[in-house]
Structure 1
Amino acid sequence: MTDIKVNYRRLQNSSVPTWLGLVIGSWFGLAWAGLLSAPAGIGFGITAATAVGGFIAVPLWGTVWGLIGLGKQRQSALRRHGITLLEADDPLAQRVYVLAAQLGLKTRPWVGVMPHNNAYAIGSGPDSALVVIGQPLIDTLDDAEVDAIIGHELGHIANNDMRRMGLARSFQNSLVWYLGFSNTLQRWARWLLTWLSEFLILSLSREREFWADAIGAALTSKEHMIAVLEKLHNSPPLGAFEREHARLMFRGIPGLLFSTHPTLRERRAALNSERYLKRIPIRRQQESLPLEPAVALPNVEDIAYAKR
């Protein structure tokens, strides 16, 4: 395997532009709620004072509770998603560590296995990230294809995609909380009041998949990434767990406006044209890099799960 190292520092991984977009989206939601409630004082009863207060409260709540939620996300997933954490000397964990080092990450993520035919990464950042691979993928794909999936999930970590998507949902929830909707009505209120944000978030989700595919291809090859996408496209339909967490998954809900992921055709075309792959900052070296534990890995003090 060629030693390909991604220049992590040059990745466009700042979540600040996304945060600013979410602030503007929350303001739009408040203005839209006020417009709906204006005729004869009906609707949601949004007064000018309520709307103005929300311009500060909703972004503040969305940011604070979003970051708190991200900090608890890994432990929550371990309790609820049927994940088995792997020891540091497990062969699959070692492969994740090597690919993480190639990507330039300074910490090793936690690594887990789940029973679902999918994969995902969660956490507030590289220091708290968890990479989860489905046992069916390990059993049916070859090593290079599993590495492509690992590279894709590490790409989400490197690009701060978990923080982007976590803040996006938190901002939407903060708006409906602020307007006093019950838990039962929050889902429908979110669509009614934050429809612009919802479409933008879904668009962001699809865009981040293209970038993660490109990083996975950079760490392996575009042929391996395409092969994985084609195989999973022909897999059984998504289960209830996968659909519930589709925005996190390697394989989500493809389609147009209401989809979390691009279609197979779009992802394959993006990889073949190298539209995103050409924009990944890569440093290449000539020597081979075997996927073995002896490859230069971070020191123990840099391991994420040593920082408990």
Structure 2
Amino acid sequence: MLKRITLFLATNLAVLVLLSIVMRVLGVNPQTSGGLLVVATLFGFGGSFISLMMSKWIAKRTTGAYVIEQPRNESERWLVDTVRRQAEAAGIRMPEVAIYEGPEINAFATGPSRNDALVAVSTGLLRNMDRDEAEAVLGHEVSHVANGDMVTMMLVQGVLNTFVIVLARVVGRIVDGYLGGNNRNGGFGYFMTVMVLDMVFGLLASVIAMCFSRYREFRADAGGARLAGRDKMISALEKLSRTYGETTLPKQVQAFGISGGVAHGLRRLFMTHPPLQERIEALRRLPAADPSVRVVT
């Protein structure tokens, strides 16, 4: 836990320092409209971009994942060979393959691009799934990579962050002007409005981001069905139900794991993954062998 907190703080400190340097070099004044847009874009995309670039490094350090460079046994050899075959079928460069210690059935994919990625499986998955099911899970993760989900998620989050920053401050200036504020840097009304709207708009942005996250899980399931077979993918998700909602993955990686959380009511709006039964039903509606189901869209 201490290791994860340290990495989180170090990453965010690096983002703040880098953006401060960039703003100083560019001579950006955040009080002007143009300056506000520049600052919002830098902060909106900066953190997401740096996190994306560091995603593989962070995942390896926080999970303690062992990257298979030279298979030590037949099981590791099978993992590497399966990912290689699926990567070739998906038209991407071979990802790094890793195993991390985790009692739950889970796997994740991350990395800065389609051709520079990491696919990792938990020891719980290796103990509890047969090879057909594991193949389907690997296909799901390779599909995430092939679909460019890591980059797309960064872009979606960056755009949403930028809108939150800009809209909160524009409305804050309007409210401050209505209340008679004449402070160039913003009065009390401005700061209170910005503080509240940052939270409100941030909440709405999270709902939108999570909606996209759930959509890409359906798409990755379909990709896994294409690479390994629909029945194998369904069987894998059914087996996943044994530990669905349980995860030892760090927060930065959880959204890219195959296992999601369990929630009811309004909390479902903030889930990164759809309910497991909805994913299974979506797969059952697919033809057993449908050439129109593509990994890359």
Normalising by structure 2, we get a TM-score of 0.67
- Structure showing the higher helix proportion among its residues: 2
Identify the residue that residue 220 of structure 1 maps to in structure 2. Answer: 228
Identify the residue that residue 20 of structure 1 maps to in structure 2. Answer: none
C-alpha displacement of 1:153: 0.4
AA of the residue aligned to 1:143: R
Identify the residue that residue 55 of structure 1 maps to in structure 2. Answer: 37
2:201 to 193, 199, 202: 193
Identify the residue that residue 274 of structure 2 maps to in structure 1. Answer: 262
In 2, Cα distance between equivalents of 1:190 and 1:250: 31
Identify the residue that residue 55 of structure 2 maps to in structure 1. Answer: 73
Flag structure 2 segments of 5+ consecutive residues without an equivalent: 1-29, 170-195
Identify the residue that residue 101 of structure 1 maps to in structure 2. Answer: 88
Give per-residue Cα distances to partners, 1:83-106, cap 9 Å, x unaligned. 01102544111211111111121x
Percent of aligned pairs with the same amino acid:
30
**Contact 1:88/1:94 (<8 A) preserved:** no
In 2, Cα distance between equivalents of 1:189 and 1:122: 32
C-alpha displacement of 1:192: 2.3
Alignment coverage as a number of residue pairs: 229
Identify the residue that residue 112 of structure 1 maps to in structure 2. Answer: 98
Runs of 4+ in 1 over 6 A off after TM superposition: 174-180
In 2, Cα distance between equivalents of 1:241 and 1:148: 20
1:210 to 213, 218, 228: 218
Return closer, same or farther for 1:50/1:132 CA change in 2, 3 Å cut-off: farther
**Contact 2:223/2:294 (<8 A) preserved:** no
Q: Report the RMSD for the aligned CA atoms in angstroms.
A: 3.2
In 1, Cα distance between equivalents of 2:283 and 2:50: 35
**Contact 1:206/1:260 (<8 A) preserved:** yes
AA of the residue aligned to 1:53: G
**Contact 2:137/2:236 (<8 A) preserved:** yes
In 1, Cα distance between equivalents of 2:251 and 2:51: 20
**Contact 2:45/2:161 (<8 A) preserved:** no
**Contact 1:61/1:171 (<8 A) preserved:** no
In 1, Cα distance between equivalents of 2:151 and 2:66: 23
1:280 aligns with 2:293: yes
Q: Secondary structure at the match of 1:132?
A: strand
**Contact 2:96/2:118 (<8 A) preserved:** yes
1:161 aligns with 2:111: no
Greater CA deviation, 121-130 or 83-92?
Answer: 83-92
**Contact 1:173/1:190 (<8 A) preserved:** no
Higher relative contact order (CA 8 A, sep 6+): 1
Choose 1 or 2 for highest CA Rg: 2
